[in-house]
């Protein structure tokens, strides 16, 4: 691990991190790909392609640090409103990138999971996703959860609908509908809630992402655009997280 974090910048290094207090679940809102490209006079689609390198580095960094779950917001239910050529490119990029990165998942023993409604995706993309799930289902070193065609309000509405169906079928009593009943019907069922949420590009909003799950999550916002996010900014986020007192509505817990 030390070799991976060699040649550190002056302001952050692995020595600044308590490796015994690494957050269990780190989540990313990967923002600013288009603006990164436009600042360089490039087509927006090239920003998305550049962002793949940052995501790969975050997967590797998470494994090296011992993060249990890494999740990332790749495509929202609202992103279908983008120009059609950009949407088409993204769907193709998802499929080709996953096939290209599968050796990394095999090497690092990373289990793949998707958050969102995959049924609405193009057949090519959906088939590749299903293949990735089947190829990595037995790995347990880390879970990488990618949110695609995901919207938190739709997710919560879906959970409510599933609860209503179970109550109507007599599988669940109304008085048994509690927090766990909802959590167990979300796309993130079985995963811990995020300890740390990182958002790039300086935006201060959740963008309909994990509204239920982020109730007590610590936020870290950086002005960097996603393609410029690297292992060192990741360490800065971890360092900031470790300097906070987490109360969960009660007594401070560091």
Catalytic residues: 31, 79
CB 214 within 8 A of CB 25: no
Burial of 170 (0-12, 13-18, 19+ CB in 10 A): exposed
CB 115 within 8 A of CB 146: yes
Distance CA 145, CA 167 (A): 29
Tokens encoding 175:
């008085």
Residues 6+ apart with CB under 8 A from 240: 220
Query: Of 95, 62, 76, which is closest to residue 147 (Cα–Cα)?
Result: 76
């Amino acid at each position: 691990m030390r070799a991976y974090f060699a040649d550190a910048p002056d302001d952050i290094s692995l020595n600044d991190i308590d490796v015994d207090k690494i957050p269990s679940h780190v989540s990313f809102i990967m923002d600013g790909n288009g603006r990164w490209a436009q600042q360089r006079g490039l087509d927006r689609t090239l920003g998305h392609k550049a962002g793949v390198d940052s995501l790969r580095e975050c997967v590797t960094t998470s494994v090296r640090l011992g993060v249990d779950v890494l999740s990332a917001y790749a495509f929202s239910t609202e992103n279908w409103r983008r120009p059609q050529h950009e949407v088409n490119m993204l769907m193709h990029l998802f499929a080709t990138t996953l096939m290209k990165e599968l050796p990394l998942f095999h090497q690092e023993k990373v289990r793949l999971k998707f958050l969102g409604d995959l049924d609405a995706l193009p057949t090519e993309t959906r088939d590749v996703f299903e293949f990735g799930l089947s190829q990595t289902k037995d790995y347990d070193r880390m879970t990488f959860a990618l949110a695609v065609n995901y919207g938190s309000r739709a997710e919560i509405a879906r959970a409510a609908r599933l609860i209503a169906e179970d109550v109507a079928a007599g599988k669940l009593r109304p008085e048994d509908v509690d927090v766990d009943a909802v959590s167990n019907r979300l796309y993130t069922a079985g995963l811990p809630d995020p300890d740390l949420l990182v958002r790039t590009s300086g935006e201060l909003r959740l963008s309909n992402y994990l509204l239920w799950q982020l109730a007590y999550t610590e936020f870290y916002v950086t002005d960097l655009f996603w393609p410029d996010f690297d292992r060192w900014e990741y360490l800065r986020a971890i360092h900031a997280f470790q300097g906070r007192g987490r109360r969960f509505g009660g007594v401070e817990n560091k």
